[in-house]
Amino acid sequence: MNVGFIGLGAMGSPMARNLARAGHRVAAWNRTRARAEELKSDGVRIAETPEEACQGDAVFSMLADDTAVADLFLGSRQLIGALGLQTIHISSSTISTDLSHRLTEAHQAAGREFVSAPVFGRPSAAEAAELVIAVAGPPSAIARCQPLLDVVGRKTVVVGEHPPAANVFKLAGNFLIGSTLETLGEAFTLLRKSGVDPRVFYETMTSTLFAAPVYKGYGALILEEKYQPAGFKVPLGLKDVRLILAAAEAVSAPMPVANIVHDHLLTAKARGWEDHDWSSVARVVAENAGL
């Protein structure tokens, strides 16, 4: 398939690379051209403009936040109008449900197809094509995109026919991850202050009751206090939790734990840990306890 790719950050680059390695013809654009240059050896063609990447069978967008997505597709570049008549826009960014609604309406008004497909997984999972993808949109469009989604992820979950459903699904999942970071930090802090080895606790819990990748992976980072290099930096975590709280407020769903995670991420930012992994909320918990 002919595929465009817009946004070559820590997640977008490996996704575009995997598409090219699978034999798809990929044209990629990034604000910083050097990121696109790095993919040439993998068979990725550099698109000179984002409009050029919006042709073909589909175009992925994997951008940092609402501002970046809205600017390109609704603002200064108006990329929705640059989409080919048969080109499906696959949005894999973690964005607000409000923006997803606006994008859905704008694509419909322009007669273009929009599929929301945010992903779960850190950069290492993107490299290994082990992402879990939540997708929502017109069934026919999802079916046409499926061969591409199968290349970048190990599992695709169809959430519904209305694109914003995938975005709230993604935000709910990120809430579970963020709350896990908080509870791991609190548990390890309790153990350390009580003179109990948290390593034994970690090994026991992650091999029995909590034998899940999030507990194993993030638990190891927190246990070793290895917050750099960051797989997902504090400002990005803070951005996501703000989106979670906004989505919750829109439907009058109180989320007190999300507020705690928000405040601890904000504390991490205030302490100058912007380049740290968002699991450093556990460091905030530990320092608050005098460790």
Q: Could you list the active site residues?
A: 170
Rounded alpha-carbon distances, angstroms, from residue 45 to 25, 156, 200, 235: 8, 27, 49, 31
DSSP assignment of 78-125: -GGGGS-TTPEEEE-S---HHHHHHHHHHHHHHT-EEEE--EE--HHH
Q: How far apart are CA 137 and CA 157, in angstroms?
A: 12
Query: What b/e sequence results for 105-119 when a residue is b if at least 16 CB atoms lie within 10 Å of its CB, and e otherwise?
Result: ebbeeeebbbbbbbb
- Is the backbone peptide bond immediately before 256 cis, with ω within 30 degrees of 0? no
Task: Please give the DSSP secondary-structure letter assigned to residue 29.
Answer: E
Q: What φ, ψ does residue 78 adopt, rounded to 5°?
A: 50, 50
DSSP assignment of 116-182: E--EE--HHHHHTT-EEEEEES-HHHHHHHHHHHHHHEEEEEEEESSTHHHHHHHHHHHHHHHHHHH
